[in-house]
Amino acid sequence: MAVFQIVKIGDNILREKAKPVSKINSNIHKLLDNMKDTMEHANGVGLAAPQIGVSKRVIIVDIGEGLIELINPEIIKSSGKSTDVEGCLSVPDVNGEVTRADKVVVVGLNRKGEKVEIKAEGLLARALQHEIDHLDGILFIDNAKNVQNNE
Ligand code: CO
């Protein structure tokens, strides 16, 4: 597997609506593995496929409680509100406060093509929402307050 260069803000692929995965095959498995290597190398807590140049609806999240891989993820329920500081590997050296749902239920497929449902709150809920936003061309800075550039 391989560590990829992370696509940075300004690249159009980050603003595209990523395409649903219609078939989970070895290419998707390779994509997931490359995303994991790239995220770990960058010390990130999540990554979306467009961030390594692939406009497909695939995300991974690992906030230190184990790796979650999701294909065609969808938020089916959200509740509460929480505001916290976020950053993004595609927007280096920038932080800002983003208000998001505090709890979400996300459904999607795992790498075996099995349907999974994840009930998340707090940081995990935030990370999932951040990564799913990437699939719709949304970056955290679009909705951030008190944006700081620490360059
Ligand atoms: Co991001």
Burial 14-35 (b: 16+ CB within 10 A, else e): beeebeebeebeeebeebbebb
Distance 118 CA to ligand 1 centre (A): 20
Q: How far is the CA of 4 from the centre of ligand 1 (A)?
A: 15
Residue 65, pLDDT score: 95
What's the pTM?
Answer: 0.97
pLDDT digits (tens, 9 = 90+) for 61-108: 999 999 999 999 999 999 999 999 999 999 999 999 999 999 999 999
Which pLDDT value is given to residue 134? 98
Give the three-state DSSP class for 66.
coil
**Per-residue pLDDT reduced to its tens digit, 127-144:** 999 999 999 999 999 999
Three-class secondary structure of residue 96 per DSSP: strand
Contact call for residues 103 and 110 (beta carbons, < 8 A): no
Catalytic positions are 131
Q: How far is the CA of 89 from the centre of ligand 1 (A)?
A: 6
pLDDT at 151: 80
What does the pLDDT read at residue 1? Answer: 73
For residue 120, the CA-to-ligand 1 centroid distance in Å is 18
Distance CA(32)–CA(1), nearest Å, equals: 10
Q: What is the pLDDT of residue 54?
A: 98
